[in-house]
Structure 1
């Protein structure tokens, strides 16, 4: 895939995404349809996906896969948790672990994962599997909510800044039910700095962009400032190019 990449998006786009995010509980379909269109636009800044194989790893109920298919791609969803699939997942969905995808080496033009990495205990192994199934010259799209961002604790944020145990207990008291996410079980501390150092040290990918996914300006600048980036990035977006073997 070729393309020039993308410039900083508009404030209007960021505001629309924020409004959709705030309404997620009331209207999840609208929220995730918008997010899927936005993510597909980000991928297509590096080349159209029509006729390409797009592997969506951990895509839940399939909003991203459907969007890529609507643009002419051969999109396939791989999701390990059947509870996340909903009532009508896309056809040909595969229940599979992202650590060990049932795919041959280099079969995908785009390997895509959105807001999954923070739910993965072994970051490096997971990333290696994404790279393995991507063809040389293909793209790897990785976006995740870093631990120290305002939403790092997910449903019990921002109280995770006071400690995960305290935040989870507060959520139980306030809602009368256990939280969906438990630190160390299905939510993990991944940071911007250590993740950037890892991908930049790899010899099987080149980093095309490392930026805040949702900010409307200075999206790459904020990820270059140690300390600040852990809080201000909110959600780190990496687009990687698979290098020849």
Structure 2
């Protein structure tokens, strides 16, 4: 076979190689979704007085919340949950006091906002992988990737406060509760609104998948 006859075979193979590379690129993007998803699509909008009050109090009060319980059994149930979640979170947050304070605050703020605690844990896993000082390419900050404009709308405009554990978790839970109310209880749509991808499945599905790690039946 001459060189001129051999060229078409090599040329014909190029489109197939391009297709393979394109498929690998799409697959890689899907696999990296969990690490790169951010809540940078939160939009500035009018807030109800109750929402504004809840966010303002988070900025004013820097003390971690202290759970209270009506019965001994309720306290024991919480302690069983805390022990189980601490074991699951160890690989991401090694320091024991930090891990306990983080879980205690997540438990308190999620219940305060009327949210499922396992879902909030799943959202934090997707948003920041439990990194306190995570910052996205558009400036979203902290555990729940809060956009800096929220501190301007609610507080003194200092975005550094979004790295404070309770402030970040209070903001994240209250904002998600706000979106859930706006979507009339539709969690799929509320999560999309939180991420700026309302109506699209990748982000809500990622949160729901991550949530499975944090279910507690004890």
| TM-score bin, normalised by smaller chain | under 0.3
Q: Which has the larger radius of gyration?
A: 2
Q: TM-score, normalised by structure 1?
A: 0.24
Q: Which one scores higher on RCO, CA 8 angstroms, separation ≥ 6?
A: 2
More helix by share: 2
